[in-house]
Structure 1
Amino acid sequence: MTLSPLAQGAALFRPHPDVDLLLRDVLESARARAHVFGTEYELIWSEIARSVRGGKRFRSAIVLGTHEALGGSAQRAAVEVAAGFELLHTAFLIHDDLIDHDWVRRGKPNLAATMRAVSMATGSEEGPAQQWSEAAAVLAGDLALTRAHRLIGGVDVPRPQVEQLLDLLDETLLVSAGGELADTAYGLGLHVPDLDEALLVCESKTAMYSFRAPLRAGAILAGASLAEQMELDHVGRLLGRAFQLVDDLLGVFAPEDRIGKSNISDLREGKHTALVLRAQQLPVWDRIAPDFGRPDLDRETADAMRAALAGSPAPHLVEDHVRQDLAEVEVRCVTADLPDAMVEFVAGITGHVRTALDDVVEHVRASAR
């Protein structure tokens, strides 16, 4: 069959009102209960809610879209699981910012930065305020993770499906944490990965909880066969890897107002992305290496590094890898025994990732000028 180029892509990332309402109710209830422990604890829940509101909601959209495309009828359960994945995503972001010592998320102060500012406004010294804010971020991530587990594990569906969802959540946490640990080791220089290891991190972190697990969760709720679930898992692995490779390119070449964070932090931290690993095999690396991973990397030097990378084959090699992954997704969808509606839904996700890739290619060209 012929794949629709964007299919449902235009509507894919619109927040679902039922998911938003459930998240609001869950988090407001927790905030109200937290009030007895003081305004700071109440603020943590308000900040978790703010973090949730800022997301694109595509993980919940994948759960709901997959459930619908496979003919599922457990609509309320799908909404609850979808909301659980948004809370899972929020928990990972809060902990990820803490691990990376980042204080900005989506162009605004993140949870830890807000808590630090509140502490300093009440007279705390900078050192204790930072330590307290980091503790608050650890706890906030744990709280969001627990709420996600409760939503996903508490759905009103037959017990075998609940057990499958809980097994999936356990697998998601196990794989994602392993990917985060490896990524942190690479960033600290404890081990320099090769390209296969870097791609495995993409599959373990972003792909697992953002694509593979939401696709499988929607399929479980729809009563899909194990074969269908495993096919969607493979599709999700390819989509997630492609998505992360695009995100890594955006993190270097896109303007900061486009990505909502620093576009020199990856270079400053010495992050071994596929882009960097490709560049290390090319003559351009002689121009990059002296400043790569410099904690005091300034913007002028970073701009020169960016221009050198943009003028090299490195970003185009990463682009080729993304296009190959997306092409494999399309081939698998055509040859796999999946319903037409599911094929069309996956085509919408593929089209969105391809559009993001085309966008970053333009940023690379601009950086090379």
Structure 2
Amino acid sequence: MVTVTAPSLTASQARPTAQATPREAFFAAGEAHAELLDPPDTTYRTLWEAMRHAAAGGKGARPQLVTRTYQALGGTDLEVAAHVGDAVELLHGAFVMHDDVIDHDTIRRGRLNVSGMFARRARAAGASPQAAATFGDAAGILAGDLAISGAITAVARTKAPPHVITALLDLFEEAIRTTAAGELEDVELSLGILEPTLEQVLKMEERKTAVYSFVLPLQAAATLVDSERATTVLPILDLLGRHLGLAFQLQDDVLGTFGDPAHTGKSNLTDLREGKHTPIIAHARTTGAWESIAPFHGAADLDEQGAAIARSALEACGSRAFVEALAFDHMAAARALARAACLPHDLVEWIGALPSRAARQSRAA
């Protein structure tokens, strides 16, 4: 009989130091766990190292949205707000890793993502391209699963009253469920069997992106403040987050087709090649130019030359300008709601600058 014993964790290994942020603690604990396996698993440790590498960089807009809104609503414990903001960013990282697998993307922020790193590792070891891609996808899925678990654990360890933690967990659960619904709908719309309206596409994007990226940080901040005023503005923050999220996503859609990968860090072929039903495409379908655009939409072998023809037609028929104007309208609505929630002017202006950065990148492309 073989006796199997589990390695024991020391107190320092089981619980990260108080100074570590949730993300730092998450990665450190995962790497330590790989070393504690018997024998230590170098491939599994590499997964954690790849996740840490993939999480580096970024603008940190979601954590800032938590802390800035928290302060604007009267919150004073910035360490707690930063803790929850870090949990939101972990959740974002999880969704990004899963989304990259779904979209067959191997590049994020101008460098290999988790899937790309593991696919390259497998090819270097002699695996076939197909087997390497499967290995990369598995790594991306598992990394995303681990990050979701890490985000929820971070929320549960927030130094806040139990009823506040419960409310935060409810917000995170709702965000995860809604995002899953939006992601699945996005894939369904790309099957080529539906011709969704602009309204359907916008609702999908609201579910997939706006709820977790903007509604969640705003409402989490108010929940942390735990005051009567903060509770009162929750419905306004919900609408604010949805408008802000759509403004941001619409600009991201423009970047996904017209952006320069050298500036955006992501491919400008994926949306067209994968047949994504973005608002740009939904608008183009209503124009006389669609017949000339359709052959390039969903073409698996789409190259830069074909994409350039499609982009030119999308600009000529007014689809790019339409989506940029729609983003502007949603941002205007978000600003109005921010004022209605009596958020400080500087916070309103900072919120307003979030999607405009994406717009400047797009126009420069």
Q: Same fold (TM over 0.5)?
A: yes
Task: Output the CA distance in 1 between the equivalents of 2:168 and 2:185.
Answer: 26
- Contact 2:73–2:222 (8 Å) recurs in 1: yes
Change in CA separation of 1:125 and 1:292 when aligned onto 2, cut-off 3 Å: closer
Amino acid at match of 1:323: F
Mapping of residues 218-297 of structure 1, within 5 Å: 218-224=221-227, 225-297=230-302
Question: Partner letter of residue 285 of structure 2?
Answer: Q
The amino acid that maps onto 2:23 is L
Deviation at 1:114, TM superposition (A): 0.9
Partner Cα separation in structure 2 for residue 244 and residue 62 of structure 1: 16
Change (3 A) 1:333 1:134: closer
Q: Is the 2:103–2:270 contact (alpha carbons within 8 Å) kept by the matching residues of 1? A: no
Distance 1:108 1:138 in 2: 18
Q: How does 1:1-369 map to 2 (within 5 A)?
A: 21-35=21-35, 36=37, 37-224=40-227, 225-334=230-339, 336-339=340-343, 341=344, 343-361=345-363, 363=365
Whole-angstrom distance in 1 between the partners of 2:75 and 2:139: 39
Per the TM alignment, residue 58 of structure 1 is displaced from its structure 2 partner at its CA by 0.7
Query: Equivalents in 1 of 2:356, 2:124: separation in Å?
Result: 45
CA RMSD of aligned residues (A): 1.9
Q: Deviations over 1:272-330 (max 9, x none)?
A: 11111111111221221122211111211211111121122211211221111111122
Aligned length: 343
Using a 3 Å threshold, how does the CA distance of structure 1 residues 358 and 115 change in structure 2: closer, same or farther? closer
Q: Which secondary structure state, in structure 1, belongs to the residue aligned with residue 102 of structure 2?
A: helix
Alpha-carbon shift at residue 344 of structure 1 (Å): 2.9
How far the C-alpha of 1:357 sits from its partner, in A, is 2.5
Q: Distance in 1 between matches of 2:109 and 2:361?
A: 18
1:247-283 deviations in Å (ceiling 9; x for gaps): 0011111112121122122111111111111111112
Structure 1, unmatched stretches of 5+, are 1-17, 364-369
- How many Å apart are 1:337 and its aligned residue? 4.3
Compared CA separation, residues 355 and 44, structure 1 to 2 (3 A): closer
Q: Residue 212 of structure 1 contacts residue 235 of structure 1 at CA under 8 Å; is this kept in 2?
A: yes
User: 1:243 is aligned with what amino acid?
Assistant: F
Question: Matches of 1:362 and 1:76 in 2, distance apart?
Answer: 38
> Which one scores higher on RCO, CA 8 angstroms, separation ≥ 6?
1
**1:230 Cα deviation from its structure 2 partner:** 1.5
- Cα distance change on mapping 1:119 and 1:307 into 2, 3 Å: same
SS at match of 1:296: coil
Give 3-state SS (helix, strand or coil) of 2:176's partner: helix
CA separation of 1:212 and 1:221: change in aligned 2, threshold 3 A: same
Task: After TM superposition, give the deviation of residue 186 of structure 1 in Å.
Answer: 0.8
CA distance in 2, matches of 1:135, 1:168: 28
Using the alignment, how far apart are the partners of 2:161 and 2:20 within structure 1? 25
* TM-score in terms of structure 2 length: 0.89
CA-to-aligned-CA distance 1:27-55 (integer Å, 9 cap, x gap): 12221221234100001111111121132
Whether contact under 8 Å (2:164, 2:224) holds in the other structure is yes
SS at match of 1:289: helix
In structure 2, relative to structure 1, the CA distance for the partners of 1:301 and 1:149 (3 Å cut) is: same
Change in 2 beyond 3 A, CA 1:147/1:123? same
Using the TM superposition, give the Cα deviation of residue 73 of structure 1 relative to its aligned residue in structure 2, in angstroms. Answer: 2.4
Distance in 2 of aligned mates of 1:139 and 1:271: 25
More displaced 10-residue stretch of structure 1: 346-355 or 306-315: 346-355
Aligned pair in 2 of structure 1 residues 78, 235: CA closer, same or farther (>3 Å)?
same
Q: Measured at CA, do residues 133 and 354 of structure 1 come closer, stay the same or move farther in structure 2, by a change above 3 Å?
A: closer
Question: Residue 48 and residue 321 in structure 1: after superposition, are their counterparts in 2 closer, same or farther (change >3 A)?
Answer: same
Query: In structure 1, how many angstroms separate the alpha carbons of the residues matched to 2:63 and 2:335?
Result: 22
2:97·2:114 contact (CA, 8 Å) conserved in 1?
yes
Tell me the CA shift for residue 20 of structure 1. 8.1
State whether residues 263 and 361 of structure 2, in contact with CA within 8 Å, keep that contact through their aligned partners in structure 1.
Answer: no
- Residues of 2 paired with 1:203 and 1:267: CA distance? 20
The superposition leaves residues 94-128 of structure 1 with CA deviations (integer Å, 9 ceiling, x where unpaired) of: 11111111111112111112112222323334333
Deviation per CA, 1:159-180: give whole Å up to 9, x if none: 1111110100010001000000
Q: Is the 8 A contact 2:63 2:85 kept in 1?
A: yes
Give percent identity, aligned residues only.
35
Secondary structure of 1:290's counterpart equals helix
